Structure 1
Amino acid sequence: MAIETPRLLLVDSYDSFTFNLASLCKQAMPNCIIYIIKNDAFTISELLPFLPFFSAIVVGPGPGSPEKDEDIGVIKDLWNLTEHLLIPIFGVCLGLQSLGVAHGAELRRLDVLFHAVGMVEAVRYHSLHVVLAKGGDVQELAWADDGAENGRVVMAVGHTLKPFWANFWRLARRWARKTGRQTMPWNTAVETAIGRPWLSPPLPSPPLSTPSESRPAVTTQVLEMPSMDAATVSELFGVSDEESPFVMLDSAAQPGRFSIVGSLMQTSLQITYFALIFRKTLGRRDVWTWLADFMAGKRVREGHPDVLFWGGLIGVLSYELGIESLDVTLSNENHHRQHPDLNLIFVERSVVIDSLTGRVFVQSLISDDPWISDTVSILTKASSPSIKAVAPVVRLPDRCRYIARINQAKERIFAGDSYELCLTARTSISLPKVFPTDGSTSWRRYQTLRSKNPAPYSAYIRLHPTTLLSSSPERFLSTSRPPHPVFHLRPIKGTVRKAPGITRTVAEAALIGSPKEVAENLMIVDLIRHDLHAVVGEDVQVKQFCGVEEYETVWQLVSVIEGRLEPSTHAASDPDSQLGWEMLRKSLPPGSMTGAPKKRSVEILQTLEEHERGIYSGVCGYWCVGGGSDWSVTIRSCFKFEDRSNTIPCPTETWDLGAGGAITALSDAEAEWDEMIVKLKSTLPAFGVSCT
């Protein structure tokens, strides 16, 4: 029997490789249609009536143990189907282990992988493996030889009687021809229950209230001012007034190029959202849909083609906002939240500085705005400000407690619950408030940070009650303008602090030559590929894998991943598509700050970390009225909360700093503590202090 258009049912166990696996299936079977369900979405009795509509099942990987029902859900029942319901099944990782356990295999933990070995040509994430029962129905097809460390490790199996194999699709088609199994015709009732296939075209969106030809254009005046910088422009726009909101995204170092300074008005719209408070009141129209609709109504016809930002939303999104999207219960849900989880302001007037060409773009979304000519006049007379700083005392996290948490994280990894956990801790700095005239305002602190640790994705954002000073080296997600937008991510995993004798050659040996550092980076690259595949389809490419890049104070291990919308499956030509917001929603929190698989890792981190992260390890950046966006990971940063409802001014202010690192099976607890301190040293210069 020929299967012209095979339908695959992919069972997802909440892993961060699922959509990568779906993409591989599409490469092997270009004409297949893939439907994806969670392993706990159906009981076996609910799923059985739908199996005849599928050509085969792929059981994907996932965290946890095949011996725990809560980890594998309906998967355990698939290996015991009666003969008339048999269907070819391909199990990957957790799926393979589940098949083995269901047929008498013994489940064991693996020791640390790749210890003291030379070059390898494959990577294994799994912490568990199975030892097959002798003479059983499941036979070994492939294995890895770990020598004295683990011995012979099963890597592929096949059932002697049932269609559960590793050499999957060729054997599945042969088995279907032999048994005469036919796939039932598809119908809408099945799709209602199972859901729409992966890569299906989006549902049509309602038309915009403003046709494209009626939208306004951005008014722009271009100046040639190679000596102008974002700090000078910010001074001119009143950044020193601590009572007023202010936003500035600062490309203070390569590879950054454009800096954006907003000129805010009293009427500038500020949007705040507290996830735990409002998520139950929005109903089906969640905050992401609201934002997409809001920005669709703000679209402009055109602006200067050389500028990435014409105007739009600028601000911060918290780590916990991403957790809400993962449907993970926060460990501190009942605690009072200080910082909004979403804090954005709509910028209608802005100055954009191009450090590459020396051009300055003065822009307004307001028609016939006299502010443009006034600003041009002011800029031509400007001079650079001076920098001052005040030094407080810094208090670090408890070293013994942090190391204990690292060891707890490693235990969860060895148990198979995660491949990698990004463990963080908070450093708080309390200091007396001072008068702005002595140069110790938050703006002056930012200038000090910028001079000591210039970074490509720096930012000064003051949107009460939050003030953020960022010198982030890591781009999270950028989206080019439609049509045909490109999603671009640059995760960082692996850090070496600069010091005498630490040349590029030394840094490359320490980073690229470290199995632990490369493993960290690889796992996050796979997680990001998964997130991109979920939205854009198959066109996801790793443009750079584990490249060593130089920054002001450190060497970093950086990868670059890009995804493009496929016109055949998405409305890529629609400039008002909501897919950009969907990409942002599905990518949060940043994978480089959670570990993999993301959902399970976040759940584990909720039990290991003592404080909510808030602004730290969220993102900051912009969404342009032209449809493009650029967000950085909020690291190498500090932020404070200011309670303006208190009628009695508080004599002190507290700044929070977050830092941490990715924990893997190869992590050394002492080295992880040292890495966290290295990262703190990038931010503490904002206060004129250092730590040892």
Structure 2
Amino acid sequence: MRTVITKDISQFPDFKNQLLHWANQHREVVFLDSNAYNQKYSSYDTVLAVDAFTSIKTDYENAFQDLYQYQSQTKDWLFGYLSYDLKNDTEALHSNNFDGLDFPDLFFFQPKKLFLIKENELEIQYLRLCDDEIDSDFEEILSITTNTHHPSSITIKQRISKENYLSKVSKMLEHIHRGDIYEANFCMEFYAENAQIEPLEIYQKLNAISEPPFAVYFKNNFQYLLSASPERYLRKEGNKVISQPIKGTARRSFDLEQDEQLKSDLAQNEKERSENIMIVDLVRNDLSHTATKGSVQVEELCQIYTFKQVHQMISTIVSEVENTTSPIEILRTSFPMGSMTGAPKISAMQIIEELEETKRGLYSGAVGYFTPNGDFDFNVVIRSILYNSKNQYLSFSVGSAITSQAIPENEYEECLLKAKAMFEVLQSK
């Protein structure tokens, strides 16, 4: 049983900052922030879960079955992640590329302490409560002052050279022209060795310049995810399932007239629309595995959403599921998300594995939570920095969708645009 109390908070930005710094003392942390982005499908503005009461950590073999057992038995709030390489559990696939991060393929925990914020109301839920623990923690949070600044000066290397990138995209285009695939998301890694950073501070800088709706600060002992993700993978809300894939990116401009033109150009870009529509079809197929007959619908097609760094083209696909359908089955039959794989999905993942040089791991996986009644909400891990403080390895990857209309040079420039925010926060003065 959880003890639940509510409190009003007045200075929300200050409190959110204090809450995050307080959380960082714990071994396990998941901090999810919508940055007050006006979302149609949203339960909370900010969520914090800390301090594992129970947890599950495993590699990809039987991972979804293990998660099913854990979620079914716990029937409580669970927070954690699904790494991209769980594809090896659902399909006859393998991952033999380099992995400098060494994260588990799947990790979830049942938090002792949970904070749920909606507007100015804070709901606190504690498991196995000690007397006065909520009040003492709340007072400790309010007493925190935060004004540290540690300049970053990290040498970032590129795993795939520009020349090699152009060659690999050309090979992917050969697969497309042969009819092996229609589209694939090709990614490349930027990395730093012997990297020493303050993860919380880097996260806050990244979040400040991006303000995305699915930001995450994740910590599991010495493993960190600092994410400025704009994309939802999958949400379950009662009997309704919602997917919101992103395909299509354009830069922002300080010139308002030019910015509107860039937005308009993206909306009318046939290449970007075709990419998005291909993924919409893939998601419709994925959701159909668990949907009630005739319930898969496209609510929004190729809508343009604006973020601080970029304009994005987003579609919304929904379905209905039976009460008896396991939430894990909904995830298993749609993972990894189509926006980070391609179509047809299995062929695309095989070709991706051949051409990429780094194991994706948590990048292009998903972070989120399950509620006690089996609802869930997960993002897509993109625009993110991954860090292992034990071996001091830091990594971030970026990618783009390759279709028959792709021009390798333009795809390379799109990758650099997506990497801009990460470079900025890691090489700040």
Matched residue, 1:259: 46
- Superimposed CA distance per residue, residues 428-487 of structure 1 (whole angstroms, 9 cap, x where no aligned partner): 023553xxxxxx41111111112222211111111145211111000100111x4xx211
Percent same amino acid among aligned pairs? 26
- Superimposed CA distance per residue, residues 297-351 of structure 1 (whole angstroms, 9 cap, x where no aligned partner): 323xxxxxxxxxxx62212211111243122233449x89821100222213111
Q: AA paired with 1:657? A: F
SS in 1 for 2:333: helix
Matched residue, 1:543: 299
Matched residue, 1:227: 11
1:351 and 2:115 matched = yes
Matched residue, 1:320: 85
Q: AA paired with 1:232? A: Q
How far apart, in 1, do the equivalents of 2:326 and 2:94 lie? Answer: 26
Match of 1:678 among 395, 401, 417: 417
Q: CA deviation at 1:384?
A: 5.2
More displaced, 288-297 or 491-500?
288-297
Q: Retained in 1: the 8 A contact 2:20–2:31?
A: yes
1:366 and 2:142 matched = no
Q: CA deviation at 1:253?
A: 4.8
Q: Retained in 2: the 8 A contact 1:389–1:686?
A: no
Q: AA paired with 1:674? A: E
Q: Retained in 2: the 8 A contact 1:292–1:578?
A: no
Assess, with a 3 A threshold, how the Cα gap between structure 1 residues 365 and 578 changes in structure 2: closer, same or farther.
farther
TM-score by length of 1: 0.58
Match of 1:564 among 314, 320, 327: 320
Tell me which of the two structures has the higher relative contact order, counting C-alpha pairs closer than 8 angstroms and 6 or more residues apart: 2
Q: AA paired with 1:558? A: I
How far apart, in 2, do the equivalents of 1:642 and 1:444 lie? Answer: 14
How far apart, in 2, do the equivalents of 1:327 and 1:479 lie? Answer: 27
Q: Retained in 2: the 8 A contact 1:245–1:264?
A: yes
Q: CA deviation at 1:524?
A: 0.5
1:292 and 2:79 matched = no
More displaced, 440-449 or 487-496?
440-449
SS in 2 for 1:350: strand
How far apart, in 2, do the equivalents of 1:336 and 1:442 lie? Answer: 17
- Relative to its length, the structure with more strand (as a share) is 2
How far apart, in 1, do the equivalents of 2:132 and 2:92 lie? Answer: 47
Assess, with a 3 A threshold, how the Cα gap between structure 1 residues 298 and 370 changes in structure 2: closer, same or farther.
farther
Q: CA deviation at 1:382?
A: 5.0
Q: Retained in 2: the 8 A contact 1:428–1:654?
A: yes
Q: Retained in 1: the 8 A contact 2:101–2:388?
A: no
More displaced, 386-395 or 462-471?
386-395
Matched residue, 1:428: 191
What are the equivalent positions in structure 2 for 1:562-601 lying under 5 Å apart?
Answer: 562-565=318-321, 570=322, 572=323, 577-601=324-348
Match of 2:58 among 262, 273, 276: 273
Q: CA deviation at 1:413?
A: 0.5
Matched residue, 1:72: none
Q: AA paired with 1:563? A: S
1:662 and 2:401 matched = yes
Q: AA paired with 1:673? A: Y
How far apart, in 1, do the equivalents of 2:272 and 2:100 lie? Answer: 37
How far apart, in 1, do the equivalents of 2:111 and 2:284 lie? Answer: 32
Assess, with a 3 A threshold, how the Cα gap between structure 1 residues 450 and 337 changes in structure 2: closer, same or farther.
closer
SS in 1 for 2:201: helix
Matched residue, 2:255: 501
Q: Retained in 2: the 8 A contact 1:222–1:361?
A: yes
SS in 2 for 1:507: helix
Gaps of 5+ in 2: none
What are the equivalent positions in structure 2 for 1:189-268 lying under 5 Å apart?
Answer: 216=1, 218-229=2-13, 230-237=16-23, 239=24, 241=25, 244-255=27-38, 257-264=44-51, 268=53
Q: CA deviation at 1:364?
A: 1.6
How far apart, in 2, do the equivalents of 1:340 and 1:578 lie? Answer: 27
Say what the alpha-carbon RMSD is for the aligned residues. Answer: 2.4
How far apart, in 2, do the equivalents of 1:637 and 1:591 lie? Answer: 18
SS in 1 for 2:51: coil
How far apart, in 2, do the equivalents of 1:630 and 1:252 lie? Answer: 16
1:391 and 2:130 matched = no
- Relative to its length, the structure with more helix (as a share) is 2
Q: CA deviation at 1:654?
A: 2.1
Q: CA deviation at 1:385?
A: 4.7
How far apart, in 1, do the equivalents of 2:91 and 2:266 lie? Answer: 31
- Superimposed CA distance per residue, residues 550-587 of structure 1 (whole angstroms, 9 cap, x where no aligned partner): 1111100011111112xxxx4x2xxxx45211010111
Assess, with a 3 A threshold, how the Cα gap between structure 1 residues 386 and 252 changes in structure 2: closer, same or farther.
farther
Gaps of 5+ in 1: 1-215, 280-285, 300-310, 434-439, 644-649
How far apart, in 2, do the equivalents of 1:263 and 1:330 lie? Answer: 31
1:329 and 2:94 matched = yes
Q: CA deviation at 1:504?
A: 5.3
How far apart, in 1, do the equivalents of 2:131 and 2:319 lie? Answer: 38
How far apart, in 2, do the equivalents of 1:400 and 1:287 lie? Answer: 38
SS in 2 for 1:512: helix
Q: Retained in 2: the 8 A contact 1:232–1:385?
A: no
Q: Retained in 2: the 8 A contact 1:543–1:559?
A: yes
How far apart, in 1, do the equivalents of 2:350 and 2:182 lie? Answer: 13
Q: CA deviation at 1:618?
A: 0.7
Matched residue, 1:77: none
